[in-house]
Each structure stands twice: as structure tokens, then as C-alpha cells.
Amino acid sequence: MKHHLPLLFIFFFVSCQSTAQKVVQPVFITDTVRHDTDDPAIWINPADPAKSLVIGTDKDQDGGLYVFDLKGKIVREVHDLKRPDNVDVAYGLILGGKPTDIAVTTERFTHKLRIFSLPDMKPVDNGGLDMFVGDTGEGFRDLMGIAVYKNPKGILYAMVGRKSGPTDGSYIGQYQLEDDGVGQIKATLIRKFGQYSGKKEIESIAVDNELGFVYYSDEGVGVRKYYADPEKGSQELALFAKTGFAEDHEGISIYKTGPKTGFILVSDQGANQFHIFKREGEPGNPNEHKLVKIVKVAAQVSDGSDVTNVPLGKQFPHGLFVVMSEGKTFHYYRWEDIIK
């Protein structure tokens, strides 16, 4: 006797298979770090983009920064950092009269920014830059998120977040970074800005240098958007990505397809996927960021991420998307695999 499966069951089975096939697989998975990966940043080698590097944090009280090549192999390490959380890179800061690329990371347990020259990873911060001096309250000085912004005049700023803080619109600290006169970096507080729901914490921060916006994840609430230039004011421009997330809003990264177009990718940590929004917003409303698609990735419980549209050799002809994953690693994805 033949048994015919109901059409509804067949549809469900095929649908599940199709969904499973849509999990994007990485091209490379990095070597493991000692403790716990958290956030990556991509440094573009100006002489040869195919020799670019990825800097990743190892989040522990005995943590560090790891530098990987484009195949995920460790090429350099910086140890003895006190729980480095997030990391970002900037290009061409004048130090000692020379343009210097830098990696900036937050050191939670010392309440300091740590800054290293690239690609040699030499400290250029006089041992660390104190943040949120004078602030009181549990977690108000425990550093987490970091993003670096260079304005059209070439002034460099660090956007610094913390594990907890005030809910009165002064959660993020914006510090100007510059030469202290002897080839090291000093930091000057310019403003505090940014709403905080008080529900969980704010970790991921991303800056769109070309359009002049800063975004950060208010976990469990959404993504908040502000002007990066302090002269334009501290009013909130948008709160988006408010629905459809399984758990925390985490890593934010921005892929640019043109001067004003592209995508904002936000990690849906609890679902191992990324929500992708329009960078340019909608016609007549650049602050209305609609969902384009959701992409599942093989990376598990992802915190931080970074992306570039610069071709990085034959393996990444349309750019690289780097994602933190459980298992002490980072995953490398081709951009075309993410957006197809």
C-alpha cells in the first residue's frame, strides 16, 4: 500500500530544507584566541589591500588584541590588556609629524582607551587614556563600545560607550584624539550625548564617516542614530530596528555602495543572523531605515562585526565581512555571499 505524504507536510519539509541551505558559510575561520573573542576591525593596507589585516579583541581580564591575516592566521599579538572589549581603526593621525594609522580599543577594568600604531601594534597612548573621569555610578566608567570618526576638517574623535550610564542623553563620550606634542596621543572630552533606555547595555557603536552619522545598539530596544559632528547638535535622529530581534542588538557595520548608498548590518545575537537596513534611508527621509533582508550566518551568538567594500584580493573581490563567533574565533565572509 502506498502512503502519500500530505502536500502541507511536503511544503514544510522543503521549506525547512531551503531555510537550512540559506545559512551563509565563511570562507575562513580564524585561529583561536586564548579566552573570548568579542569585536573585530579591518585595517586596509594602502600599499597592497590583499595584505590587509583584521584586529580582534580577546575579552578577558588577562586579554589582548590579536592581528590576523586575510586567511585568519595570527600574525601579531598584544597581551596584558584588562578586558579589551571593542576595537576600531583610523587612518592618518599626525603623530610626531607623520601620518599614523591606529587601532583603538576599550579597556574595561582600567577605564582607559588603549591605542596602538598600525601595522606594528606599538602603543602610542602613554599607557592609556582615562575616560569619563569624575563620573560616578556602577558601570559608568566600565568601557565597552568604541568607534572612531574623522570629520571633513581632519579632526579625529573617539566615540566611547560604557557598560552602564545616565539615561538623560549623555551616555556616549566623544573625545578628540591628537598629538600631545611628543608623538603620543592625548584625549580631550568634547561632549557627552545619546539616549539610553536603561534596560540592558550599549556595546556596539559604528560611525559613517562620509555621511557624518553615529549609530549604536541599545540592546533589546533598537539602534539609535545621531550626528557625529558635535557642531550639528545632539538630538536623536532615529531609533530603528525596534522589532524582530530574538535577543540583543549587537554589532553594527556599514557597507557602502556609493557616496550616500549602502547597507547597515546589525547582529541579531540570539538568532545567529544579521538584519540589513538601507544606509540612505527613504526618499525624503534619510533617517527612516527600512529592513532590506535578514541573513543567517554560521557564526554563533555574534557580538561585534566589521565590513569593508574595498576589494581584498582574489578571495574577497567585493569586500570582506568579519563576524565574531563563539569558539574564540572570527568568521570571514565574502560580501557577495551576504547580499545575494
User: What does the pLDDT average to over 218-226?
Assistant: 96
CB atoms within 10 A of CB 73: 11
Q: Which is higher by pLDDT, 150 or 270?
A: 150
pLDDT at 311: 98
Residue 138 has pLDDT above 80, yes or no: yes
Is position 30 within any domain?
yes
Q: Is residue 216 part of a domain?
A: yes
CATH of the domain at 295: 2.120.10.30
Q: Which of 223, 224, 214, 229 is nearest to 244 (CA)?
A: 223
Residue pair 226/208 in contact by the 8 Å Cβ criterion? no
3-state secondary structure of 158: strand
Classified as helix, coil or strand, 152 is: coil
Residue 315 forms part of a structural domain: yes
Residue 247, pLDDT score: 83
| Whether the bond into 166 is cis, omega within 30 of 0 | no
Q: pLDDT band for position 248 (50/70/90)?
A: confident
Q: What is the pLDDT of residues 159-176, one digit of tens each?
A: 999 999 999 999 999 999
Percent of the chain with pLDDT over 70: 94
DSSP state of 14: H
pLDDT at 8 over 60: no
Q: Is the pLDDT of residue 4 over 70?
A: no
Residue 20 lies in a domain: no
Residues of the domain holding 62: 26-339
Residue 204: phi, psi to the nearest 5? -80, 130
Question: Is residue 18 scored above 70 in pLDDT?
Answer: no
For cell 546589525, name the residue.
266
Cα–Cα nearest to 339, from 274, 290, 289, 284: 274
DSSP label at 199? S
Averaged pLDDT score across all residues of the chain: 94
**Per-residue pLDDT band at 104 (split at 50, 70, 90):** very high
How many independent structural domains does the chain possess? 1
In-domain check, residue 302 = yes
Order of strands, sheet of 129-130, starting from the edge strand that comes earlier in the sequence: 84-95, 98-107, 112-118, 129-130
In a domain, 113, yes or no: yes
What's the pLDDT at 139? Answer: 92
CA gap 19, 258 in Å, rounded: 31
Say if 47 falls within a structural domain.
Answer: yes
Query: Global pTM?
Result: 0.93
> Any bridge partners for residue 63, and if so which?
81
- Tens of pLDDT, residue by residue over 314-327, are 999 999 999 999 99
Q: What mean pLDDT comes out for the span 213-217? A: 98
Averaged pLDDT for residues 58-73: 97
Asked if the model's pLDDT at residue 185 lies above 90, the reply is yes
Residue written as grid cell 557564526: 299
In a domain? residue 17: no
What does the block give as the cell for 212? 557624518
Tell me, what's the pLDDT at 127?
Answer: 96
Note the pLDDT of residue 19.
Answer: 45
